[in-house]
Amino acid sequence: MIIALTGTPGTGKTTVCEIIKEHSQYRKKFSIIDVNRLVLGEKLYTGKDEARDTYEADMDKLEERVKQEIGKKNPGVDVILEGHLSHLLPADAVIVLRAHPVALRKRLGKRKKYSFKKVKENANAEALDVILVESTQRNKNVFEINTTNMNLLAVVKSVISIIEALKQGKTPEEFRPGKINWIEYVEID
């Protein structure tokens, strides 16, 4: 199974995958592809939006490279595509990590490379469900985890429980989207 693990920057995708890699019982079952590393490391972008301080990924090239990487994996292993673009790639299911915009603003505010404008833009994208909406437009199997008051190990366990339920042909109902409404946390100027 191929699972896209996505979410606004700062929602914990990389940290969750680091924990999966650290635990041998998880490491055996899952293989992780770091989508951002492919984009930046192999320059799979068409340009840089200087004003927004983001790279514009070349999605066709990225998809091709991701498929190649998946092809190298042991067929028995589940592949997690990690990164905020992963929901734009073909996958059997999408898991969106969510974090309250106020918590996200605090976390992203600590990143030296993030300008005030970039922090605000990302917190607003979270408040407006941007990645969730993009995900549901492309994939029928979309689930979300509100990580705001969860410790990271609990987030890992939730991610794995979603994947395991899907593999058994079940729908992990508690993670179906629709419970989160952070619209009042959009910052207008």
Ligand X SMILES: Nc1ncnc2c1ncn2[C@@H]1O[C@H](COP(=O)(O)OP(=O)(O)OP(=O)(O)O)[C@@H](O)[C@H]1O
Using the minimum distance from each CB to ligand X, give the nearer residue, 12 or 101: 12
CA 43/CA 47 separation, integer angstroms: 9
Asked if 15 interacts with Mg ion (CB under 5 A), we say: no
Q: Which residues make up the interface to ligand X (CB under 6 A)?
A: 7, 9-15, 84, 107, 147, 150, 152, 155
Q: Measured from the CB of residue 88, what is the shortest distance to Mg ion in angstroms?
A: 16
Rounded to whole angstroms, how far apart are CA atoms 144 and 159? 9
CB atoms within 10 A of CB 109: 13
**Considering only residues 64-93, where is the footprint of Mg ion by CB under 5 A?**
none
Binder of residue 10, out of Mg ion, ligand X, none (CB less than 5 to 8 A by kind): ligand X
What are 47's strand-pairing partners? 56
Say whether residue 54 binds Mg ion (CB under 5 A).
no
| Pick 17 or 162: Cβ nearer Mg ion | 17
11 binds, among Mg ion, ligand X, none (CB under 5 to 8 A by kind): ligand X
Q: Shortest gap between Cβ of 152 and ligand X (angstroms)?
A: 5
HEC states along the chain?
CEEEEEECCCCCHHHHHHHHHHCHHHHCCEEEEEHHHHHHHCCCEEEEECCCCEEEECHHHHHHHHHHHHHCCCCCCEEEEECCCHHHCCCCEEEEEECCHHHHHHHHHCCCCCCHHHHHHHHHHHHCCHHHHHHHHHCCCEEEEECCCCCHHHHHHHHHHHHHHHHCCCCCHHHCCCCCCCHHHCCCC
Q: Quote the least distance from Cβ 46 to ligand X, whole Å.
A: 20
Q: Which one, 72 or 110, has the nearer CB to ligand X?
A: 110
Number of residues forming the site for Mg ion (CB under 5 A): 1
Q: Which is nearer to ligand X, 110 or 140 (CB)?
A: 110
State which of residues 1, 14, 55, 92 lies at the interface with Mg ion (CB under 5 A): 14
Task: Using the minimum distance from each CB to ligand X, give the nearer residue, 13 or 120.
Answer: 13
* Binding residues for Mg ion (CB under 5 A): 14
